[in-house]
A and B are shown apart, each in its own frame.
Chain A
Amino acid sequence: MASPLQRRLKNRDDGLGRIAAQLSRVKHRLNLLALQQLAFSVLGLIIGTGGVLVIAAFFLSATHFLVLGLLLAAGLVMGLPIAVVRAVRRFAAFERAAAIADQRAELNCRLGTLLAIEPAEGKSPLWPFLVEDTVSRLDEFGPDRIERHRISRAAYGFAAACLVASLAGLMTYSARRHQEALRKVLKSLTFEVDPSEIAPSDNPSGEGAQLEGDPDTLRNLAERLEAANQNHQGAGHHSLRQLSRKAQNLASNLQDRLTGRDLRDTPEKVKLRLAQALGDKPPSPPDEGGSAGDMANTPQHEGQQSGGGAGSAPRHQAAPSTQELADNDNSASGPESGAKPPDSPSAKSFNPGGPQGPGTGDTAAPGTQAGSSEEASGQSAGNGSDPEHLMGPPDAPSHKSENFEIMIDARLSDRSPIASAQPYVPPKVKTSLNTYQHPDEPLDRGTVPAADREAVRRVFER
């Protein structure tokens, strides 16, 4: 937009018109640079911040990633308006272009004075001299002299941001490829996990854990977990910790998405299944009426699905360990944590103590005993296993229906900073002994010399 002064001056054929035309070119150059600065700085900020965020997702823990994300977001929120304001301030009107040209070409306010005094032209006898003097310096304030750059220097920042973003993209692409390869390798694998090797997850939310059982047991478990949680944490900190946990979950999810570790949307999942460590009976044939649930996706689960048919004793012994895990973790509290409400269809569909259970437990009588009644299975479970009933059979079957099993829905992940195609399996190394070494062997029992027997006796008497 040309100012009225600019239009008036440009239409003249004399020296003032030539000066105005030159100034217009300077103004256009300055404004073009300002526009570039606006675009480059805004885009550079956004792209650079995104790139840094993605790269940080690969190297930082969820908490650190969350903190960095918040800092970057705050920086972006503050930096964008500053960048915009700085760029907008560089836009030059006609008068400002004259002031800049005066300064950079060392014209000592000739142009500024001309523009300011122009309406009062002719009042000073020195006016023609000023115009002629300025016209003679037209070359000194050409656009190339005033601003030799055609590309804004903000382009360097933009290029750097693009570089960071490219690096981030490359890392994401590489990580996704690695995850794909890993998933293909492990697609048909099922791991059997000894319950004694299960440790609480790093993820405090306990995501992925799923408890299934009959509604009464689950309700009971949920209430006890709730009570245990309330004992551990004050009411005032509850909401704050929940908020913190949600934020961490959010950061973790975002981190997984950015790094390509998020495989939840993929149909293939490798399931870890608790081996029957204490029962140690081979898995029974699949229970068609049991809770197929998520397990139905993998064929291995169909073979290992023991449903409610697993004996009540191992199942009953698994319950305290689950509770212990939940207590340590402060997760799985209430219905949010995966313990399904009693009315949940999946929970109802799986009732180990119900009539559908085939009853393959050790303590229960095969076929007839298991599945005949909840009472029977509860009694058999109590004998010799529940510390409350060590002194004899209980008066009333208080925990007769606390039968459930844990199914751990684990997702594939490779948390190592350098992605590798195969998961690392530590080799078994057996080093042979050298000549000075002897294998560990129990010492032979020797006889005490007769002279020392009295002394040895006194020592041991003392």
Chain B
Amino acid sequence: MSSAPNQMPTLNELPTVADFARAFRRIQGEIHKVIVGHERAVEELLIALFAGGHVLIEGVPGTGKTMLVKALGQALNLSFSRIQFTVDLMPADITGTRVIVSGEDGRREFRFSPGPIFCHILLADEINRATPKTQSALLEAMAELQVTVSGTTYPLQPPFFVMATLNPIEMEGTYPLPEAQLDRFFFKVRLNYPEESELVKIISTTTGPELHKIEPVFEAGEAAGRIEALKRLVREVIVAPDIEQYAARLTRATVPEKSKFILNKEGLARDEAINRYVSFGSSPRGGQALMLGAKVCALLDGRANVSYEDIERVAYPSLGHRLTLNYAAEADGIDPAHLVQKVLKSVRELRGH
């Protein structure tokens, strides 16, 4: 707990709130050396990383998705892999497979050859271009940090952080992610098209003779340990019961009243928009994401406790992609962000004063 201001604690020591905020801001700063704009997206990406989740990044081509992930890997000084998902990609191409190798004594044996998933940071580029079978190969790895091949389970080294990108255009020949897989992503981060001033800066910084180099924030050997310690600190953040109840109520409020999977209707959505446009609301994973994301926000703000504002700050990236909208929403052009705002407004009265 007690460490000098500019000195990182030892690996066995729990970092302080100030250590966390400092490390976070440094990583953020390094990434922004090469990523112009997208401040909100970068922050959400880091929140998901320290909360122990995975991120789905949605953006049109050329907005810096791959660049963002590479920059993160460099800043954290962690191993980094990239898989370009295509329609003929097989699960073994991701997880690895058993191959026959000849030993020194000439005997041949099966040996496991790890796939690209065995890394700390994995970029699954255009994940919706692979078949659902291949997409599902990621599920076990993302949820349980392990891979099972031919009956043998291979653990992944923490931290394990998957960033999948989605291309919202060119939907021909794509396989939209099933809801179960979407739910496994902690946040969905949207990379919007850069503004004019940002575009000018992008053009000037990427076409000049000197390219910015990213300095790693952590030492190579201890980066994983440091990040894991910071992740442990996140879970120690104190939450008052009222705020836990607020997060739970917010999550339940995304479920429409007509849902047949809910027996007790108390605390469900009172907003007509939710009942009209949402087929399925957020799963409990949405509530977990809300709370863990809020804890990271609290640490970033130099606090050891979660506030209502922290919950609301991560409401959209946590809940937006967990809302399954119906055809009426598509016809009316309803955006999940709009619905999340409605839910926030309807539940805000719960905030105790």
Contacts and interface: CB of A to CB of B under 8 A. Distances in A.
Contact of A129 (B17, B241, B353): B17
A147 to B, nearest CB: 14
B236 A124 contact: yes
Q: Provide the main secondary structure of the chain A interface.
A: helix
Closest 3 A-B residue pairs measured CB to CB? A108-B307, A126-B304, A113-B305
A126 B353 contact: no
A99 B353 contact: yes
Given A99-B352, A112-B352, A124-B238, A133 B304 contact: yes
Given A108-B301, A108-B309, A127 B238 contact: yes
A75 B352 CA distance: 31
Given A103-B353, A110-B303, A112-B352, A126 B240 contact: no
A130 interface: yes
B240 A109 contact: yes
Interface string A99-117: 1100100001110111011
Contacts of A389: none
B90 interface: no
Interface string A78-104: 000000000000000000100110010
Contact of A116 (B17, B236, B241): B241
Given A103-B353, A108-B305, 12 more contacts: A96-B352, A96-B353, A109-B243, A113-B305, A116-B240, A117-B240, A125-B236, A127-B304, A129-B1, A129-B304, A130-B303, A133-B304
B301 A113 contact: no
Contact of B239 (A113, A114, A125): A113
A59 to B, nearest CB: 45
B127 to A, nearest CB: 36
Interface in A126-176: 126-127, 129-130, 133
A109 B241 contact: no
- Interface footprint category on B: 20 to 34
Given A112-B240, A112-B352, A125 B14 contact: yes
Interface in B283-336: 298, 301-310
A52 B307 CA distance: 49
A287 to B, nearest CB: 83
A130 B305 contact: yes
B88 to A, nearest CB: 49
Nearest to A99: B353
A442 B278 CA distance: 100
Most buried by A among B17, B239, B303: B303
Contacts of A117: 238, 240
B92 interface: no
A129 B16 contact: yes
B149 interface: no
Interface of B: 1, 14, 16-17, 233, 236-243, 298, 301-310, 352-353
Contacts, number: 62
Interface residues of A, number: 19
Nearest to A129: B304
B172 to A, nearest CB: 48
Interface in A20-73: none
Interface of A: 96, 99-100, 103, 108-110, 112-114, 116-117, 124-127, 129-130, 133
Given A129-B17, A130-B304, A113 B238 contact: yes
Given A126-B304, A133-B303, A113 B240 contact: yes
A125 B303 CA distance: 13
B308 A109 contact: yes
Given A99-B352, A109-B306, A126 B238 contact: yes
Contacts of B305: 108-110, 113-114, 130
A108 B14 CA distance: 24
Nearest to B353: A99
A116 B242 contact: yes
Most buried by B among A96, A99, A116: A116
Nearest to A117: B238
27 contacts: A96-B353, A99-B352, A103-B353, A108-B301, A108-B305, A109-B240, A109-B243, A109-B305, A109-B308, A112-B242, A112-B352, A113-B239, A113-B240, A113-B305, A113-B306, A114-B305, A116-B241, A117-B238, A124-B238, A124-B304, A125-B14, A125-B236, A126-B17, A126-B238, A130-B305, A133-B302, A133-B304
A453 B231 CA distance: 133
A130 B298 CA distance: 11
B187 to A, nearest CB: 22
Given A108-B305, A113-B305, A130-B305, A100 B240 contact: no
A100 B353 CA distance: 6
Contacts of B240: 109, 112-113, 116-117
A124 B233 CA distance: 10
A109 to B, nearest CB: 4
Contacts of A99: 352-353
Nearest to B233: A126
Contacts of B308: 109
A108 B307 CA distance: 5
